[in-house]
């Protein structure tokens, strides 16, 4: 018997319609590379890029590795989840820009005949040099994390593995940490809320300036510069066992500093410590507030072009200044402004002129075991 399929048991046969649900599209993060004139250019997108830039054993050859879903030049990820592109002929610069997102960038085993420029723009970014291999450039290196606001950007130069033939400039973020990095030129660490330098060497000057909010702290250990170490004012500044062929300066807050709150507040108190350093001149200047300054165990020796000098100048506030066991082959100047201040001088050797002015207010001066080779002037009310 032939069944037409139109009726079954007197009822019209039902037709089952198949439908397809559209799956939610998943956009993979994309990074592109290009090579022109020996310069490798890397461009990220506006998402969270996770990229390693790693040199190989072949000169001028660099691998760009996308991790955790980041694809490089559309190359599919391998069994380890890495999208790898190998570029040959990198004989000049490396220029990498990542346009927004929370980016993670690692640079290792990279040797450049030119410059390195890395810019992560907005987002909470992490940039790490030298975690597993040396990073070296013949020219300048500039890293900008684009921090600010609530972004938590981090730059780290690890374990004595970063060698820059020109200037090293690191700009803007939450935390900068340089361990053993060196540059033939200047080193600038600017606009970070926290900065930590240990074993850093500059053939010119080192300039560390905090974010304009002037919070958290700056610490330098075993760091040297041929001409100048300058540290901008922060809530806490600690400089220990450092060398400068010129001055070590804590020159006060940046011009852009505006203390939050109603007009005319008292600036927050600062703690400034400079210990066991050698320089032609050591200078500390605070803008006001209840500040504490410790200067001890330093050698201020001067050169043919720079007269040796220890200078401490505090603004209005209940300040405490202690200078102990310093050798100053020159002059000492201390000036404290209004309110109640305390100055303690213990075991210092000063060959030149010494001056201490407590300013107005109820002040206290304590002198114990000092040697002054020249005249001394003290004015305390």
Identify how many contiguous H helices and E strands the chain contains and give both numbers: 0, 43
Assigned token pair, 84:
């790898």
In 3D space, the residue among 180, 219, 228, 220 whose CA is nearest the CA of residue 201 turns out to be 180
Beta-bridged to residue 193, according to DSSP, are none
- What is the Cα Rg of the chain in Å? 30
CA–CA distances in Å: residue 37 to residues 34, 40, 111, 378: 10, 9, 17, 66
Q: What is the pLDDT of residue 59?
A: 93
Q: What is the pLDDT of residue 265?
A: 52
Q: Which residues contact 80 (CB under 8 A, 6 or more apart)?
A: none
Q: Which residues contact 239 (CB under 8 A, 6 or more apart)?
A: 219, 220, 229, 231, 248, 250, 273, 274, 275, 277
Say if residue 17 is exposed, middle or buried (CB neighbours under 10 Å; 0-12, 13-18, 19+).
exposed
Q: What's the distance, Cα to Cα, between the start and end of the chain in Å? A: 125
Q: What is the pLDDT of residue 318?
A: 87
Q: What is the pLDDT of residue 222?
A: 97
Q: What is the pLDDT of residue 139?
A: 97
Ranges of residues in the chain with a pLDDT under 70 are 1-29, 147-152, 212-215, 253-268, 303-306, 376, 379-381
> What's the pTM value of the predicted model, to 2 decimals?
0.86
Q: Tell me how far apart the alpha carbons of residues 57 and 340 are, in angstroms, rounded to a whole number.
A: 64
Q: What is the pLDDT of residue 55?
A: 97
């Amino acid at each position: 018997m032939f069944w037409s399929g139109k009726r079954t048991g007197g009822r019209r046969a039902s037709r089952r319609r198949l439908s397809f649900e559209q799956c939610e599209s998943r956009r993979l993060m994309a990074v592109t590379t290009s090579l022109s004139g020996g310069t490798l250019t890397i461009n990220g997108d506006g998402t969270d890029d996770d990229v390693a830039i790693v040199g190989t054993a072949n000169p001028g050859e660099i691998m760009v590795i996308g991790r955790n879903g980041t694809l490089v030049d559309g190359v599919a990820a391998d069994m380890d989840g890495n999208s790898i592109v190998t570029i040959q002929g990198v004989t000049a610069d490396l220029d990498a820009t990542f346009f927004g997102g929370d980016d993670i960038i690692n640079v290792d085993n990279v040797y450049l005949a030119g410059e390195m420029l890395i810019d992560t723009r907005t987002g909470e970014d992490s940039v790490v040099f030298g975690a597993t291999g040396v990073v070296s450039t013949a020219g300048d290196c500039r890293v900008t994390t684009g921090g600010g606001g609530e972004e938590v950007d981090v730059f780290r130069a690890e374990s004595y593995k970063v060698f820059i033939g020109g200037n090293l400039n690191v700009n803007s973020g939450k935390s900068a940490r340089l361990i053993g990095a060196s540059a033939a030129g200047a080193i600038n660490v600017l606009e970070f809320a926290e900065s930590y330098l240990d074993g850093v060497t500059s053939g010119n000057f080192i300039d560390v300036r905090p974010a304009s909010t002037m919070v958290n702290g700056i610490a330098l250990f075993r760091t040297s510069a041929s001409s100048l170490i300058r540290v901008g004012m922060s809530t806490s500044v600690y400089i220990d066992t450092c060398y400068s062929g010129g001055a070590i300066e804590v020159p006060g807050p940046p011009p852009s500093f505006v203390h939050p709150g109603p007009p005319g507040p008292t600036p927050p108190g600062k703690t400034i410590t400079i210990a066991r350093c050698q320089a032609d001149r050591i200078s500390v200047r605070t803008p006001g507030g209840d500040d504490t300054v410790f200067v001890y165990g330093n050698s201020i020796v001067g050169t043919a072009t720079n007269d040796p000098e220890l200078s401490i100048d505090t603004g209005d506030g209940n300040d405490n200044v202690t200078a102990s066991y310093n050798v100053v082959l020159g002059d000492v100047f201390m000036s404290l402004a209004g309110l109640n201040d305390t100055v303690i001088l213990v075991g210092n050797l000063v060959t030149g002129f010494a001056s201490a002015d407590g300013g107005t207010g109820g002040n206290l001066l304590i002198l114990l075991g000092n040697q002054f080779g020249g005249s001394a002037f003290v004015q305390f009310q």
